[in-house]
Amino acid sequence: MKSEEESRPASGTPYETRGRGSAFGKVKTLATLGIFVLSGFLGYHAGNLSRIVSSDYFGGPPGTPGRLAYAVAYVKGPNSNVTGVVHFSQSSPTGPVFITGELKNLDPNAERGFHIHEYGDITDGCMSSGSHYNPFGTTHGGPKDLKRHVGDLGNIRSDAYGVAKLDFSDSVIGLLGPLSIIGRTVLVHTGTDDLGRGSNEDSLKTGNAGGRAACGIIGTTLSFIMFGKVKFVAAFALLAFSSASAKLTCEVKKDVYAKAVLKDANGTTIGVVNLYQASNLDPVKITADLKGLGAEGKKGFHVHEFGDLSNGCASAGGHFNPYSKQHGGPDATERHAGDLGNIVAAADGTSKVNVEDKHISLHGGKTGIIGRAIVLHAGEDDLGKGGQSDSLTTGHAGARLACGVIGYAAPPAPAA
């Protein structure tokens, strides 16, 4: 079993956030401004306020109160039978993240390390998810410790049947802003996390939590009211704090790498999509070698709005369309942000993908696609020109052949 690596500042995190100084001040200032404007809007529309706080309109996992942001991870063990779904939700940009869910097939009556890891990359199972998410370069600790990794969530406890029911909160991680865990990995270990209190060096790096039993990429999911002014309130708040993250990232203009492992309905991997963006001003470069695509011809290739694979590709939602436009081709003026057109399958069912797109971003903001899904369709996308009833919504591209959540990835190793 490969051992854990020492934690280091995570990819996809703006440089300023690796120290607790200026970035936190900027985020707090922007957060205060956003809350002030949002409060004024809510006050003006006071008639909707009681509906916001007293209903389940916000969606999300059953039984949770209305919250501002949601994420989900479908957890699976590449070499174990551990499986389950973990939900994350957050009521305000500065509030705690609530974590609920259920994991099965764990060791019975056991405590197992439970962490957020820096990369949302499952190309090598759970091993390619990197170390604990630790943007400040601190030592490992328990979830209540002042000195801890951002991703240190402690242990989960299983019952006599090997089932762990999750229902707790954490005030360090976030779903919004530059410390968002969306696009990273939630991981269950084979051993118990000693919370940094062990007697060896690894205790302050990994908690001696052992191997990696199961993991899942944290993706966006259905998060707020689907109608009227209340939808605008939630969308406005998400945009405000997403923009705060984007502004911090713009100052650094660092390159971001991401990956999505595409799997079909049987769980067979058909390929890995690699994404790269040098800065927020550059297009996103997308490359892939795909196989097992079936019949020769064009197949729709899109970014969908949710990185939710809890019900396979069906739970990935529609095309990513933050500006509510009609569907079109990648070069069209009127198009969804997620409209990447078609890939072309050869007679042997393979395809080489090498495209660029300037309508999506790996740097956050309204067009950010980290934590969303890439979906490959079984049919050709007519680019909105087919005259079918769904040409201007889906491109009449047919069923969903394969999909994968877009997560942060490590930069490639330097050439020897």
Give the model confidence (pLDDT) of 115-147 as tens digits: 999 999 999 999 999 999 999 999 999 999 999
Q: 96 and 213 share a domain?
A: yes
Answer yes or no: 115 catalytic.
yes
pLDDT for the residue 177: 80
Least Cα distance to 12 among 115, 133, 123, 126 occurs for 133
Q: 265 and 357 share a domain?
A: yes
Q: 140 and 286 share a domain?
A: no
In a domain, 234, yes or no: no
Give, to the nearest 10 degrees, the angle between helix 228-252 and helix 22-44. Answer: 160
Mean pLDDT in residue range 190-209 = 98
In a domain, 8, yes or no: no
Q: 114 and 193 share a domain?
A: yes
CA distance 219 to 231: 20
Q: Which is the catalytic residue, given 112, 132, 335, 359?
A: 132
In a domain, 5, yes or no: no
In a domain, 23, yes or no: yes
Q: What H or E segment, with its residue span, contains residue 44? A: helix 22-44
In a domain, 230, yes or no: no
Answer yes or no: 140 catalytic.
yes
Does residue 146 contact residue 196 with C-beta atoms inside 8 Å?
Answer: no
Q: Which is the catalytic residue, given 148, 212, 359, 377?
A: 212
What CATH number corresponds to the domain at position 119?
2.60.40.200
CA distance 380 to 340: 12
Answer yes or no: 132 catalytic.
yes
Domain count for the chain = 2
Q: 165 and 275 share a domain?
A: no
Q: 258 and 163 share a domain?
A: no
Instruction: Output 93 or 378, whichever has higher pLDDT.
Output: 378
Q: 183 and 269 share a domain?
A: no
**Domain range for residue 70?**
15-220
Q: Which is the catalytic residue, given 184, 189, 319, 335?
A: 189
Q: 304 and 378 share a domain?
A: yes
pLDDT for the residue 251: 54
Q: Which is the catalytic residue, given 115, 319, 336, 396?
A: 115
Mean pLDDT in residue range 327-332 = 98
In a domain, 416, yes or no: no
| Helix ranges restricted to H, 145-257 | 228-252
In a domain, 47, yes or no: yes
In a domain, 397, yes or no: yes
Q: 394 and 279 share a domain?
A: yes
Answer yes or no: 302 catalytic.
no
Question: pTM of the entire structure?
Answer: 0.81
- Structure token pair of residue 295: 């019949």
Q: 286 and 188 share a domain?
A: no
pLDDT for the residue 416: 66
Instruction: Output 45 or 397, whichever has higher pLDDT.
Output: 397
Answer yes or no: 359 catalytic.
no
